Structures are given as C-alpha cells and as structure tokens.
Amino acid sequence: MAKGGWSRRDVLSRSVYATAGVGAAQLIASAAAAGTAAPPDASAHDVVLHVNGIDRAVRIESRATLAEVLRGPLALTGTKIGCNRGACSACTVWLDGTPICSCMIFAVEVGARAVTTIEGLARGTELHPVQEAFIAHDAMQCGFCTPGMALSAAALLEQNAKPTAEDVERAISGHVCRCGSYPHVVAATLAAAEARKG
C-alpha cells in the first residue's frame, strides 16, 4: 500500500454536526435525498412500479435508475450493479419480458410496463427450469452475475424453445462473468430447454 497512508494517530477526528431534522432513515428508505433545493414536482415523482406482479408505490427522483430503486426502497437486492454503465449486464431485469440493463433506464420512465427481477422468476417455491438447471449444472461460482444470467437464459427460452449453444452464447453475450461460468451456463440453458420440451 502507498506510504503516506494510514495509522490511527493520523486520523483527524472531526465531529460533524448533524441536524436532527430530515431523518436519515427516511432519506435512505425513500432513496430521495434532498440535496440542494429541488425544483418542484418534476424532479421527484410518485410512481407505481409493477414489479414481479405486485404494484409498488414509491417516491423517486428523476435521476434514480431502475436498478437503484429496485435495490433501495423496494429492497429487491437480487438485481446487482456491476459496472453501472450497461457494460456487464449484472443488472439485467425483464421489462415486459425483455432483458434490459436496469442501470441504464430511469425508474420514472418505466411507467406501466411489467418489471421482472430474479426474485420473480420462480413461482413461489417452484423454481424456473432455468434455475433448476443452473443448480444442477453449477452454472455459477461467486453468484454475483447469476441473477442477470438466469434472466437472460430464461428469456431466450421464451423466444426460442430449441436454442443451439451459439444461440445461448449470443443471448448471454452482454454478460461479464469473471469466475468463468459461461460454459456451465450454456450447458444448463440447453438442458433447461430439453426439460421444458418433455
């Protein structure tokens, strides 16, 4: 580590006064930090998001991405943020059944469209065939990219009941997995396709 770093005696303790006012918990829960005085209305919105079949009412800022709202006030932490730039697809959710990067869309734009997160892929305790296959084929290691991968794989099977390995690779081509789960993800998805046929 760089020299000029860190030891206890170097910590310059400064107490920062905090107003009791605007409750921190409230701010966090609503993910709508006041910041500087916001313009009225159009910069904060009361919306109803349809997530996993349930209507969720939430107050959000314009700048809040769908990923942030899902993970924050909606407490659906299955959706992960890997790069926050749409380059890794860890934040994949379905919008009306189509996989998109939830970090690259503002929550306020979602409107009436149906959002499906990884939490909504299973039916109660009954896992989706893709999820079963992912477990059986060990299509995961650390698991951070897994929710997005599973949603991409499951969406593919809705479009294409008999995908080839290349079809699967294309469908998941936006995903970055550092652990190297790709081969097992492909095998699992093909197996899930087989299982659904039967």
* Identified binder of other proteins from the candidate list 114, 122, 167, 195, rule CB under 8 A: 122
Q: Does 195 bind other proteins (CB under 8 A)?
A: no
**Residue placing its CB nearer to other proteins in the complex, 55 or 126:** 126
> Could you tell me the smallest distance in angstroms from the CB atom of residue 123 to other proteins?
12
Burial 165-184 (b: 16+ CB within 10 A, else e): eebbeebbebbebeeebbeb
Q: Does 57 bind other proteins (CB under 8 A)?
A: no
* Identified binder of other proteins from the candidate list 49, 58, 74, 80, rule CB under 8 A: 80
Q: Does 104 bind other proteins (CB under 8 A)?
A: yes
Q: Does 48 bind other proteins (CB under 8 A)?
A: no
Instruction: Count interface residues toward other proteins (CB under 8 A).
Output: 108
Residues pairing with 44 in the sheet: 61
Q: How far apart are CA 195 and CA 191, in angstroms?
A: 6
User: Which residues lie below 8 Å from residue 49, measured CB to CB, with a gap of 6+?
Assistant: 55, 56, 58, 69, 74, 107, 110, 115
Cα torsion 168, 171, 173, 177: sign: negative
Footprint of other proteins on residues 84-103 (CB under 8 A)?
A: 84-90, 92, 95, 98-101
> Could you tell me the smallest distance in angstroms from the CB atom of residue 21 to other proteins?
7
Q: For residue 165, give the H/E element and its range.
A: helix 165-171
Q: Does 58 bind other proteins (CB under 8 A)?
A: no
> Could you tell me the smallest distance in angstroms from the CB atom of residue 193 to other proteins?
16
Residue 65 gets which letter from DSSP? Answer: B
> Could you tell me the smallest distance in angstroms from the CB atom of residue 111 to other proteins?
8
Q: Does 51 bind other proteins (CB under 8 A)?
A: no
Q: Does 123 bind other proteins (CB under 8 A)?
A: no
> Where are the extended beta strands (E) located within 70-140?
92-95, 98-101, 114-116
Q: Does 33 bind other proteins (CB under 8 A)?
A: yes
Displacement of CA 161 from its chain's centroid (Å):
25
Structure-token pair, residue 94: 């379905």
x/- binding map, residues 155-194, to other proteins, per CB under 8 A?
-------------xxxxxxxxxxxxxxxxxxx--------
